[in-house]
Amino acid sequence: MDRKDILKTVDHTLLTQTATWEEIRGILDDGIKYQTASACIPAAYVKQAAEYVEGRLPICTVIGFPNGYSTTAVKVFETKDAIANGAEEIDMVVNIGWVKDGKYQEIEDEIRQIHEACGGKILKVIIETCLLTEEEKIRMCETVTCAGAEFIKTSTGFSTAGATFADVELMRKHVGKEVKVKAAGGIASLEDAEKFMALGVDRLGTSRIIKIIKQTDDGAGY
């Protein structure tokens, strides 16, 4: 597979607690250079990042991250604030406790409200697959589909595990045809990326792919 085809699915990501503007600027520069799908960064840097890229790269940020148990009102405010600051894409975390409680209608309602707050921008819903049973994963695929979000996403990358091939296969089987799948967390090689894409993944949340390409040939041809 052409590496450019992989790169255009990548949300080039830096969400560590210690991320500085200098580090985020490096992510943005790489995202522009390698023509990634977006740069996914902390909300506090969205305005500065959007001004810096001047439309050359979509800015993505995270909402209710990483634990998902903020109130719906807080998540909606975070979303509106991020969009106002220039975010083009929103990755939200669902309330995992609500999943365990079986409150799927409440989860659907929350996703709908956040999707409305996106004002036409892309919404990706993180379900944190490593914390869910297979039945819960299937129910969340159905819930995200009913709520109208553009993407379902495996993981925050801040829990006990990241994306797995088995989870992606399950999600692709149970989400609606119009819902895209994002794999995130632990994508460590070009081979992993290719396999996830072959299984039907539309986006990859990772910082490692660009690091690998830089190491292999200094990005020649990009």
**Looking at the domain assignment, is residue 63 inside a domain?**
yes
Among the residues of the chain, which ranges form H helices?
3-7, 21-34, 46-53, 72-84, 96-101, 104-117, 134-147, 165-174, 190-198, 208-217
φ, ψ of residue 21 to 5 degrees: the values are: -60, -40
Domain span at 31? 3-216
Domain tally for the chain? 1
Active site residue 153: yes
Pairing label, strands 203-206, 180-184: parallel
* Residue 48, pLDDT score: 98
- In three-state secondary structure terms, 123 is strand
- The count of other CB atoms within 10 Å of the CB of residue 43 is 17
Catalytic residue among 11, 30, 75, 91: 91
**Looking at the domain assignment, is residue 222 inside a domain?**
no
Residue 181 has pLDDT above 80, yes or no: yes
**Looking at the domain assignment, is residue 221 inside a domain?**
no
Residue 221 has pLDDT above 60, yes or no: no
Query: Is the distance from CB of 220 to CB of 188 less than 8 angstroms?
Result: no
**Looking at the domain assignment, is residue 33 inside a domain?**
yes
- Percent of the chain past pLDDT 70, that is, above it, reads 97
Active site residue 124: no
Peptide bond into 66 cis (omega under 30): yes
Q: What is the CATH number of the domain that holds 165?
A: 3.20.20.70
Catalytic residue among 75, 124, 153, 180: 153
The whole model's pTM is what? 0.96
Residue 105 has pLDDT above 50, yes or no: yes
Active site residue 121: no
Q: Which one, of 19, 37, 32, lies nearest residue 182 by Cα? A: 37
- pLDDT confidence band for 216 (50 / 70 / 90): confident
Longest dimension (CA), the chain: 51
pLDDT in tens, 132-180: 999 999 999 999 999 999 999 999 999 999 999 999 999 999 999 999 9
